[in-house]
Amino acid sequence: WTAVDRYSFSHLHPKSSNPSPEALEYALSNSEEKGLPDIAVSPSQGKFLMLQAKLLKAKNVLEIGTLGGYSTIWMANASPETKVTSVEVDKRRAEVAQENFQKAGVSDRVEVRLGPGMEVLPQVAEEIKQGKRGKFQLVFIDADKQNNWNYVEAALGMCDSGAEIIVDNVVRQGKLALENTEDPGIEGARKVVEMIGKDDRLDGVVLQTVGEKSYDGFLIAVVK
Ligand code: DHB
Ligand code: MG
């Protein structure tokens, strides 16, 4: 899986591409140096997120779970008009992410909002209500998995019709299919799948993925 990722990515995202391979590598190496966990999306998954933002012509992207900002850098490169609002609970992670944004030249297109998602998202919703900012066309949820559904629900009220909501890590090496689990990550994945399935406002699918980040998957939902 890793060999296929490396081969295809090297051809489809050559040195002259945006974001630059140097900026991406810096984000990963700086994150590692500062002790952040190695759980960012893979290069190919990052590129997938950027291409979704391009397809959607997204001006406003919401991310929940910044970590070192690796996926953020990808999405912020969708177009010069794309702005990413990224929510991070951990101050240290947010600081490392800001360093990575500087290096990638996207600091002016990324706003990091520090705090727990369920505290920050209502504030962002209020800013939209007051006309201080626009609604979102793309949402990427990659934070504490127990809150997956809460984040989808909070994001729904802030999305345009036709917006896309992507939830990371819902397959977890196949554990999504286990009915009896005490793993809170799997519980969070199952809940978001089941709740989206019941929700008339959303139409979703789980896309299983393999690659250098092992076997996992995205839940992809479109806001009707
Ligand atoms: C974990 C979290 C992630 O967002 C991810 O992509 C992989 C692993 C984790 O918490 O283990
Ligand atoms: Mg993830």
Contact present, 139 and 164 (Cβ < 8 Å): yes
- pLDDT value for 216: 98
Which helix (H) or strand (E) is 204 found in, with range? strand 202-211
63 C-beta closer than 6 A to ligand 1: no
The Cα 45–Cα 211 span in angstroms is 9
**pLDDT tens string 51-98:** 999 999 999 999 999 999 999 999 999 999 999 999 999 999 999 999
**pLDDT tens string 137-149:** 999 999 999 999 9
> Among the atoms of ligand 1, which is closest to the Cα of residue 143?
4
Q: Any idea which ligand is nearest the CA of 175?
A: 1
- pLDDT value for 127: 98
Fold entry, domain 2-223: Rossmann fold (3.40.50)
- pLDDT value for 28: 98
The Cα 207–Cα 72 span in angstroms is 21
Half-sphere exposure (Cβ direction) of 32: Cα atoms closer than 13 Å: 7
Which helix (H) or strand (E) is 18 found in, with range? none
39 C-beta closer than 6 A to ligand 1: yes
Pocket test for ligand 1, best of 28, 90, 169 (most atoms within 8 A of CB): 169
All structural domains of the chain with their residue ranges: 2-223
**pLDDT tens string 26-64:** 999 999 999 999 999 999 999 999 999 999 999 999 999
Contact present, 148 and 176 (Cβ < 8 Å): no
